[in-house]
Structure 1
Amino acid sequence: MMKVLVTGGTGVVGPEVVRRLLRRGHGVRLLSRHASDDRKPFEGDVEAFDGDIGDAASIRGAADECDAVIHLAATVAERPPQVTFERVNVEGTRNIVAEAERARVQRFVYVSSLGADRGESDYHRSKKAGEEIARTFSRAWIILRPGNVFGPGDEQISLLLKMVRTLPVVPLVGKGDDPFQPIWCEDCGEALAIAAERADLAGRELDLAGPELTSMNQVLDRFEAMTDRHPTRIPLPAWIESTGAKLAAKFGIETPVNADQITMVTEGNVIPEGRENALDVLGVKATPLDESLAKLGDSLPERLPSEGLGPMHRKIYRAVIRGARLDAEGLIALVRDEFPELTPRKTVVVGAEPESPTRIAPGATLTMALPLRGHVQVRVEEVSPRAITLATLEGHPLAGAVRFLAEPAPGGDGSVRFEVQTWNRASTLADLLVMETLGGAIQTYTWTSLVETLVERSGGRAEKGVEVIRDDPDEREGKAFERWLEELIHRRVRRDGAPAPAMAAG
């Protein structure tokens, strides 16, 4: 058993590295700017060390008593002045190597990037400089160059999936036929964990990529079959690819690649002929691309209220039901088992994609079709006798949660109070504008209709009808709900061994 320092154990790859190390019996110390929070999704021996790799003083002591370092921390997009390729990818690596030397760590695994040894993008140049620094480590070092790693919340393949689900058009880099070799995050995490154990690989430089060559068009073909949606594909001229990506980033618009990544695509993102794939060297059985893309379809991360825009809104749709055949637990069971039949199909179609689940079950991801938005998803975070909580996922117009609650009504006459609570902010500026106009009316119609249908199905009556109460929380109450929801999600992740949620992304 080793103690392994993992730098930047967040995002798409980091959580899988930590999870694989724990499963292989190792202890983990996590180094990141917010490590005390980033460690929350993990069970087991995970220590937190809060520090900034760009600040050498802040990470002193991070490698004490560690046998190995897996240096993941890097940036793929600059946000000056603090987040630059030079400060994070180059000087950050220099600082980590120095800390590993000081602590007399025996093994140093540097995570580079496929093509860094030959690429001309600014990002690749910075990773190549990092490789040169890693080679100065005086004991055992190994360099791994992962290709395009995809998993819940990645900024390319996950983004393409969200675009297919929600947009009428999808932009393509060039004609969408450039080959690349994506690797599923779980396979990448397993490979890096094994590399930290392999003393025999000292001094090796290995390319790490998925088992199949594909292209953006082929990935889109798979997503269209998965979602039964067929947006128009628009090839972007070269000047839009470069200049347009920069402008989009400036205004906060999501694009499948940034300007620097476009250079990387045109340079090629595949293992050159004649080189070994680290998956084979390390004995990792690769996940087939179709299987991993299917996993991705139901594993996008939660879109939390803290990530949304504008003030938090809370609405309550409530009915006191008299003479019902069902008690509070029976009403929640009805919602759990027959959710699609309770929602109005004019505004919500549950199970909108082929093979998409429709029953509310702990940890399930439900896909729904919404007017003006396409397909969106929610995840079941809580199912208890008197409560159900659904959290919105990336791609949903709202960042927040929906709760179904039932309890005996005051008065002791056998009446039951049932309510739907929505806690949310708009996900984007465009969603904010829609929710302030048509979106709010659609939401009110949807949940009012569900409560009315539930009253009818219960065999009871609601003498006052459905009360709609807008009761926006103050800042303290809103923050308390955000913390409660995040902890609820962390408990699900720890229980299910599921992908780390969005707030764990650094």
Structure 2
Amino acid sequence: MKVLVTGGTGVVGKAAVDHLLKAGHAVRLLSRHADADARQWASGVEPHTGSVSSDEAVAGAAEGCEAVLHVAGIVAENPPESTFQEVNVEGTRRLAREARRAGVRRFVYVSSYGADVGESDYHRSKFAAEEVVRAEAPPGWLVVRPGNVYGPGDEVISLMLKMVRTIPAIPLVGMGGQPFQPVWMDDLGLALARAVERTEPAETVVNVMGPDVTTMRDVIELLGKITQRNPVLVPVPEFLAKMGTQALETVGIDFPVKEGQITMLQEGNVLPDGAVNGLTETFGVTPTPLGEGLGKLADTLPEMLPSDGTGTLHRQRYWADIHGSQLTKDELFEVVRTEFYALAPAGLLEVGAEPGSSTAMEEGETLTLEIPLRGHIQVRCVDISDHTITMVTLEGHPLSGAIRFDVTEVSPGVLRFEVRSFTRSAHLIDRIGMRTFGKVAQRATWRSVVSAGVERSGGTAPEGVQEEETALQGKDAEDVENWVEGVVMRYRRARSPDAHPSA
């Protein structure tokens, strides 16, 4: 069947789309940048450009669809552009009316656990949206209330992981002892796909939670064991945390939770004893234990493209022309690919900084690196072809962009080993840092890698390690952004569920 999905590019929505595709369904994706968003799946996803905030975009969106999965919503307001009333409530009303007009047989709305009792503005808006579903959605509707969802790019636990990896101290709301029951995004995605497929239960509410009750403090300790990092935990009184989150975010400092989420933590986010957990009892999903889910999360943070960063895009080249190499082009390339950890300079870059993390460049592998003053950061190998390796930075890295390693034969008997980076600072704080120590360390690192490659080849580089830095503007910057995005999208499509139907 064909399913209209909103919010299909977020943590929850993407997981649901993946499972719908695995089950053989077709998806119509409603999003602001639907044409670009749909490119991350090999096939089976039809783009429908627009927003739930637009009457024109929603009109006709469900035509020819048998079901609607409405995930889109906001957890924080940005008035006047986006408010809880306009997006969460009125957006749901538009979808419900469109579904009824199109004769959709199943309308599944993703709300939030505690929406019926929560005092935060967010929870009030989600409950108001539930009331809209009850009144205006087609018969057979279903409301799913998940607990805190974690997965690559979520706004709480993923952020905590990045903080554990990169900073020496982490602020905690209160003592970090507020209980919550997080659910792994893939488990929720499967539950939602099954909710869409089935006709029962109907016209009711189903709570979906993970299997483990935990606290913020416990999660950080688990992440510390996974990453072998031990940041200091700094308790922040709840009233000060509420006052400070907006101010901190204004200057580019991430806080683990938003103001509304602090209210939700205070209210509790745990199923009471004896309550039905729809994850297992309604949808039959085998839940992922918290420790296992956090381990998966540690290796699956999303890529940060050059367009995600801030400031000027810089291209840096470091290369050496090697004469008399005792290794062929193929052999030297294989050394770079498999022994990068040995080429990296001690004290500036340690490859394989976390237990079980890869040290070789294999397509699809994520390398965890330790950098002075930055802790652990990650890069992902998204393409290996034509003696070129392309790595892309992940969230948590001080830079957003790509790094290329090339081995070419520039003339008979002369090999060139080159490292080329295309990067922007990830955000304002890193922009300041990269102007000082960061830039010096980056230059020293890549010069050392190239120099080690020359030594490993057994040849010499009469002209030494050469370098060039260029600030890219206009079309030059746009061309690089398009190239990196294209490589990443090809990588994602090759790994999307519809690329391997039998998986």
TM-score using structure 1 length: 0.96
CA offsets per residue over residues 78-97 of structure 1, 9 Å max, x none?
Answer: 01112110000000001111
> 2-side partners of 1:352 and 1:3: how far apart?
44
Q: Displacement of 1:487 after TM fit?
A: 1.5
Tell me the SS of whatever aligns to 1:377.
strand
Identity percentage of aligned residues: 49
Residues 107 and 138 in structure 2, CA contact (< 8 A), matched pair in contact too? no
Indicate whether 1:70 and 2:69 are aligned: yes
Q: Report the counterpart of residue 187 of structure 1 in structure 2.
A: 187
What is the alpha-carbon distance in structure 1 between the residues aligned to residue 258 and residue 400 of structure 2?
24
Task: Give 1:274 shift.
Answer: 3.0
For residue 409 of structure 1, give the secondary structure of its aligned residue in structure 2: strand
1:86 corresponds to 2:85: yes
1:485 pairs with 2:481: no
One-letter identity of the residue aligned with 1:430: I
| 1:90–1:127 CA contact under 8 A, matched in 2 | yes
- The letter for the 1-side match of 2:313 is M
C-alpha distance in structure 2 between counterparts of 1:45 and 1:487, whole Å: 19
Equivalenced residue count is 495
Q: Does 1:386 align with 2:370?
A: no
Following TM superposition, by how much is the alpha carbon of 1:272 offset from its aligned partner in structure 2, in angstroms? 2.7
One-letter code aligned to 1:50: T
By how many angstroms is 1:271 displaced?
1.8
Distance 1:272 1:118 in 2: 14
Determine whether 1:218 maps to 2:218: yes
Cα offset for 1:29? 0.3
Paired amino acid for 2:361: I
Matches within 5 A, 1:415-494: 415-494=414-493
Counterpart of 1:397?
Answer: 398
Report the Cα distance in structure 2 between the residues aligned to 1:401 and 1:79, rounded to whole angstroms.
Answer: 31
Matched, 1:321 2:330: no
- Pairs within 5 Å for 1:18-167: 18-136=17-135, 137-167=137-167
Following superposition, the deviation at residue 16 of structure 1 comes to 0.7
* Residue of structure 2 in register with 1:233 after alignment: 233
Q: Counterparts in 2 of 1:160-309, with a 5 A limit?
A: 160-280=160-280, 281-309=282-310
Q: Deviations over 1:254-275 (max 9, x none)?
A: 1111111100000011123332
How far off is 1:142 after superposition? 0.5
Shift of 1:384: 2.0
Query: What's the CA shift for 1:200?
Result: 2.0
- RMSD over aligned CA atoms reads 1.2
The AA in structure 2 aligned to 1:48 is P
Structure 1 Cα separation of the partners of residues 112 and 470 of structure 2: 49
Where does structure 1 lack aligned partners over 5 or more consecutive residues? Answer: 499-506
Equivalent residue, structure 1, for 2:344: 343
Is the CA contact 1:327–1:408 (under 8 Å) kept in the aligned structure 2?
A: no
CA–CA distance in 1 between the matches of 2:63 and 2:138?
17
TM-fit CA distance, 1:241: 1.2
Instruction: Tell me which amino acid in the other structure corresponds to 1:336.
Output: R
Question: For 1:279-303, what per-residue CA distance to the aligned partner results, in whole angstroms no more than 9, with x for missing partners?
Answer: 1211111111111100000101111
Deviation at 1:326, TM superposition (A): 1.8
Distance apart, 1:385 and its partner CA: 4.2
Q: CA deviation at 1:332?
A: 1.6
Q: Is the CA contact 1:332–1:385 (under 8 Å) kept in the aligned structure 2?
A: no
Q: Which sits farther off after the overlay, 123-132 or 300-309?
A: 300-309
Tell me if the contact between 1:21 and 1:193 (Cα under 8 Å) persists in the aligned partners: yes
The CA deviation at 1:228 is 1.1
Query: What is the SS of the residue equivalent to 1:284?
Result: coil
SS in 2 for 1:39: helix
Query: Given that residues 107 and 196 in structure 2 are in contact (C-alpha distance below 8 angstroms), is that contact kept between their aligned partners in structure 1?
Result: yes
Conserved 8 A contact 1:121-1:264: yes
Distance 1:138 1:170 in 2: 46
Contact 1:300 1:393 survives alignment (8 Å): yes
Residue type of the alignment partner of 2:484: L
Determine if the alignment matches structure 1 residue 408 to structure 2 residue 409: yes
Rate the CA distance shift 1:267–1:31 in 2: closer, same or farther, 3 A. same
Q: What SS does the corresponding residue of 1:399 show, helix, strand or coil? A: strand
Supply the AA of the counterpart residue of 1:327: T
Per-residue deviation at 1:204? 2.1
Cα distance in 1, alignment partners of residues 180 and 330 from structure 2: 51
Q: Distance in 2 between matches of 1:384 and 1:212?
A: 43
Question: Which amino acid in structure 1 is aligned with residue 254 of structure 2?
Answer: E
Contact 2:317 2:421 in 1 (8 A): yes
2:42–2:496 CA contact under 8 A, matched in 1 = no
Asked if the contact 2:99/2:138 (under 8 Å) is kept, the reply is no
Deviations 1:317-366 (A, max 9, x none): 01111110223222221111101100101200111111211111111111
SS in structure 2 at match of 1:135: helix
Answer whether contact 1:174 1:238 (CA < 8 A) is retained: yes
Cα deviation for residue 370 of structure 1 reads: 0.3
Partners of 1:55 and 1:346 in 2: how far apart?
53
Could you say what secondary structure the match of 1:390 adopts? strand
CA drift of 1:422 comes to 0.9
**1:333 and 1:385 in contact (8 A); partners too:** no
Q: Secondary structure at the match of 1:199?
A: coil
User: Shift of residue 32 of structure 1?
Assistant: 1.1
1:344-383 equivalences under 5 Å are 344-383=345-384
Post-superposition offset of 1:33: 1.2
**C-alpha displacement at 1:496, in angstroms?**
2.4
Secondary structure of 2:90's counterpart equals helix
Cα distance, 1:125 vs structure 2: 0.2
The AA in structure 2 aligned to 1:444 is R
Q: After TM superposition, give the deviation of residue 472 of structure 1 in Å.
A: 2.8
Matched position secondary structure for 2:36: helix
Cα distance in 1, alignment partners of residues 353 and 274 from structure 2:
44
- AA paired with 1:347? L
Q: Residue 6 of structure 2 contacts residue 71 of structure 2 at CA under 8 Å; is this kept in 1?
A: yes
For residues 435 and 283 of structure 2, the distance between their equivalents in structure 1, rounded to whole angstroms, comes to 53
My pick for the range that moved more, 153-162 or 488-497, is 488-497
CA distance in structure 2 between the aligned counterparts of 1:90 and 1:458, rounded to whole angstroms = 63
Note the C-alpha offset of 1:494: 1.8
8 Å CA contact 1:8, 1:31 repeated in 2: yes
On the 8 A contact 1:172/1:235 being kept in 2, the answer is yes
Distance (whole Å) between structure 1 residues aligned to residue 188 and residue 138 of structure 2: 26
- Residue 399 of structure 1 and its aligned partner are, at CA, apart by 0.7
**1:6 corresponds to which residue?**
5
Query: Is the Cα–Cα contact under 8 Å of residues 249 and 258 in structure 1 kept in the other structure?
Result: no
1:200-223 Cα offsets, whole Å, 9 max, x none, are: 211121101101111111111111
